[in-house]
Structures are given as C-alpha cells and as structure tokens.
Amino acid sequence: MSHRILRTGLFGLGAALVSFHPGAAHEIVGNRFFPATLSIDDPGVNDELALPTVDSFNTGDNPPVRQRDISGEFAKRITEDFAISLGTAYTFLGPIDRTAAGANGFQNLETLFKYRVFKNAEHEFVLSAGLSIEWGGTGASNVGADPFNTYTPTIFFGKGMGDLPDTLSWLRPVAITGVVGYAIPERSFTGTFGVDPDTGAQTFDTEFHPQMLNWGGSIQYSMPYLKSAVMDLGLPDFINHLIPLVEANLQTPVANTLTSGTLTTGTIQPGVIWTGTYFQVGVEALIPINRQSGSNVGVIAQLHYYLDDIDPHGIGKPLFGGAAQPASPFARQ
C-alpha cells in the first residue's frame, strides 16, 4: 500500500502525523526472496492478500490518543510486471485518560499502481515505480481521513548481498530495501470559519496541507537464504523460516509547510517475519523517533498470504500472461 499520512486528532487536539502502511508484496530475484515488509512497501509485484494487519500505539497528540488499526489489502497482477492493489483500514481512537468518548471509522481507500522496471538476478537487485492514490472522502473525517485526494509517485528498490565474495559469505543473507515517495495533496489548504469566544467576532482559520517526502527502508537477515544458498547449519526448522529485520518508516514535510512545520516524524521497527510456502506472519515494535511521532512503543503484526503460490493457475495468475514462477522463499532449495 502507498504511504498514506493519517492526520489523527480527537476533541480539538493538535493533530499528529502518523504513518500507516501495511506492506504489499514479496519478490524472488535470483536466489533472493524479499518478504512483504509490514510498514514500508517493498519492490515486489505479485498476487497477494494482507489480512489482517493490526497495530496499536499512542499518537503524538498532546495529550496523546490511543490509536488501533485493523487493515487489509489485496494486490492483483495485471501482467507479470504490473499490479494494482486496494486497501483500507478501520481505526479506533480513544483518550488514554478515558475522560471523553472515543471515535472510530474507516480510513480512506487507497489504490497503488506498481510496475517492475528492472530486475537483475546475478546481483539480486530489483527496481519498481508506482503511483499511490488516497481517495479523499471515502473514509470517516472523525478518525482523520481527508476529504481530498492525495497522489504519491514512489520508487521502490531491493538489493541482496548474495554477490559478496566468499570471504564475506556470512553477510550474503543480508538484504536491504528502500522506498522514496512524494505525497501531493489535491488541496493546498482548508479554511474554516469560526467565532472568537471572547469577542464574538467571526474568525477564519487556515490549515495548509504539506507536500510530504515519504521515505524509509529495511535491513534483513534471511535464515532461509543462509540455509539454501550459503550453509546449512542444521538449525531447527522453525529458525530456518525466520527473517529478522529492522524497518524505518519516515515522513518529512517539504513544501507548503506554514502550519505543519518541517519536522521529520516516523518509527523504527525491529521485528521478525516467519515465512512459509504459502503465507508469512510478522510482528514488529513501533518505536517513535521523537515525541511528535508518538508517546510510547507500539506494536504491529500481520498475516500475509501468497496468492500466486496458493493458486498459480487461478486467482494468483496475472490477468494477461501465463502462470509465473512461484515466489516462495524455499522454491530454490
């Protein structure tokens, strides 16, 4: 899914910029399996279903608000290299001190159009480009869904270290992925009429909607790769299915920032993914990088199905073209 910025607020509290983004793809490049990461989107183009993705954290509002999301996303290949995904989230907001009522509702629907631009098996490198559209007005305003569209052109990349020399063979299971997107709101500002409580005079408040640089990455150590492409250490089978990783998911206002400022917000997310032949399960901590990003350590977890492996000749087959090579992390063992 694209990097949507949720502007969460409750009872007139200052809004915090919180990134929500369930990962949407996995990818095989040579011997390298790139899993679907939980918060940033990776460069894969596949048929997949992420359901559910759940998270819980305290927002950067003052005082903070407890936010919980349950989301889902479906990705479908049109051709071998081009896919469209649809996703949304249901959000629960509530004051931590329980002194007021909470709010809940759907976030805006998001669509991501992604095309795999380049793939090199020898160097385990893949590059994709995409356009995410957040459809304004499809969600509930009381949980921060904007009434206007936001367009985010994005570049995705992944690089495995399998081409390192034999002297560095223990680093071959390492891989990095990255994403850089530029979010452009359809509306530059929103004006609101009000009344000054002291003088009774009419007021007009303007909130500018900034253009955002959405950026991040992950560093991973693949135990399946270690066993199949480097060395079988005879570890328990459960361990051989794990990919420990750390994600970074960050947002920086870069234009139209008069009311938002230019402070970067986001999270660092250490965790682990267990990969199977047909699905994966992942869990990560959500560690805010500053007070404006959140007031505690949260958590995110996801169950993710590989439809192209479950049914490669049916729902997992591109609409145009034949069944593709399975994208299982164990397909090349």
What DSSP line would sit under 177-198, residue for residue?
EEEEEEEEES-SEEEEEEE-TT
**CB of 61 within 8 A of CB of 15?**
yes
User: What would the mean pLDDT of 33-62 be, rounded to a whole number?
Assistant: 94
Q: What is the pTM of this model?
A: 0.88
Tell me which of 99 and 205 has the higher pLDDT.
Answer: 205
Phi, psi of 293 (to 5 degrees): -90, -15
- Spell out the domains of the chain, with CATH numbers in brackets: 4-310 (2.40.160.40)
**CB of 260 within 8 A of CB of 208?**
yes
Q: Is the pLDDT of residue 193 over 90?
A: no
Tell me which of 107 and 61 has the higher pLDDT.
Answer: 107
Cross-strand pairs, 56: 68, 299
Provide the greatest CA pair distance for the chain: 77
Cross-strand pairs, 75: 48, 85
Nearest to 26, CA basis, from 320, 313, 309, 314:
309
Mean pLDDT, the chain, integer: 89
- The pLDDT tens digits of the residues spanning 235-273 come to 999 999 999 999 999 999 999 999 889 999 999 999 999
Of the listed ranges 1-15, 189-203, 311-325, the least confidently predicted one is 1-15
Res. 4 pLDDT band, cuts 50 70 90: very low
- The pLDDT tens digits of the residues spanning 131-176 come to 999 999 999 999 999 999 999 999 999 999 999 999 999 999 999 9
Q: Is the pLDDT of residue 331 over 50?
A: no
